Structure 1
């Protein structure tokens, strides 16, 4: 079961890609997602008074051609626990790849495999601390 408190930023200049990534994360159970389309918005989120985000998934094209933006992005990445920078032309981020990425970031509980088991609870008619000899206590 996904960590519902995980806060994720998606940064991409292409709106359809932002929507696709957000829907993919929603299908995986993550809903605290902030899509960002411009670098200036991402820079504003780097303020120290704001509560930090846990994960950033960003397209490298946000900083393309601007060394100042590249330096600011690398400095802001220190505030995140996890960062995934991708190249839109070389990286395919579909539902399956997002599932694998999020499994590394937010691993499932070791008890997850037990959720599908049928549990049987045996009913005991004998109350603890009762000294009666009958099968059922009054």
Structure 2
């Protein structure tokens, strides 16, 4: 008791409403992804119901609208057009890197500073603030509008 501090960690509640102020294609991708909130995070997982990782989640959300993306976040970061965070629209991809600068996480931007992603740290598909852990190192528009 003298050497250990006890307490509770509570995940911050993030106010959110379904996306409606974007193109139909962007809305389709995000609406598809939203239905899987709560799906367990599984490293290397590809199942939208049994467990999925970040890049497979993005890959499958985009596939629902007819887009073909590579399997890993590093490969996905090479696609589309690089933009700034200020230019990001709902459905654009944000990429995060580890301490060595290697891209290791991808999310979909929801707008208003929020993201939809399969989060290892929370163990599920969830909504977070875009800077929940660190700032993105790359932002990409895949859709082209």
The structure with the greater share of residues assigned to strand is: 2
The structure with the greater share of residues assigned to helix is: 1
Alignment TM-score, normalising by the size of structure 2: 0.29
